[in-house]
Structure 1
Amino acid sequence: MKITPTSSRMYGFMVLYEMHTDFLLRALAGIDQKDAQKRLETKANHIAWITGSVIHSRYFLAKSFSISLPSVTDELFENNKGIMDDANYPPLVDLIKDWQEITPLLQEVLTTATDEKLEEKFVMPEMEITLFDMIGFSSYREANCIGQIALWRRLLGYPGMNYM
Structure 2
Amino acid sequence: METKPKSSRLYGILVLFDMHSDFLIRALDGIQEEDAQKRLDTKANHIAWITGSVVQGRYFLAQSFGIALSSVTDQLFSNNKGIVDDARYPSLSQLKEDWQKITPLLKEALIQATDEKLDEAFEMPGMDITLFDMISFSTYREANCIGQIALWRRLLGYAGMNYM
TM-score interval, normalised by the smaller of the two chains:
over 0.9
Q: Distance in 2 between matches of 1:140 and 1:154?
A: 22
Matches within 5 A, 1:38-53: 38-53=38-53
What does the per-residue CA deviation read over 1:104-159, in whole Å, with 9 as the maximum and x for residues that have no partner? Answer: 00000001100000000001111220000000000000000000000000000000
Q: Distance in 2 between matches of 1:95 and 1:51?
A: 7
The list of structure 1 runs, each at least 4 consecutive aligned residues, that deviate by more than 2 angstroms after superposition, is none
Matched residues, number: 163
**Identity of matched residues, %:** 72
Matches within 5 A, 1:46-125: 46-125=46-125
Q: Please tell me the residue identity of whatever aligns with 2:42.
A: T
Task: Structure 2: give runs of 5+ residues left out of the alignment.
Answer: none
Q: Distance in 2 between matches of 1:3 and 1:44?
A: 38
1:3 Cα deviation after fit: 4.0
Any conservation in 2 of the 1:3–1:11 contact (CA below 8 Å)?
no
Q: Please tell me the residue identity of whatever aligns with 1:155.
A: L
Q: Distance in 2 between matches of 1:53 and 1:162?
A: 22
The residue that corresponds to 1:139 in the other structure is 139
Q: Please tell me the residue identity of whatever aligns with 2:56.
A: H
Any conservation in 2 of the 1:56–1:74 contact (CA below 8 Å)?
yes
Q: Secondary structure at the match of 1:14?
A: helix
The residue that corresponds to 1:31 in the other structure is 31
Q: Distance in 2 between matches of 1:79 and 1:128?
A: 18
Q: Structure 2 length normalisation: TM-score?
A: 0.98
1:60 Cα deviation after fit: 0.1
Q: Distance in 2 between matches of 1:32 and 1:128?
A: 41
What does the per-residue CA deviation read over 1:67-114, in whole Å, with 9 as the maximum and x for residues that have no partner? Answer: 010100000000000001121100000000000000000000001100
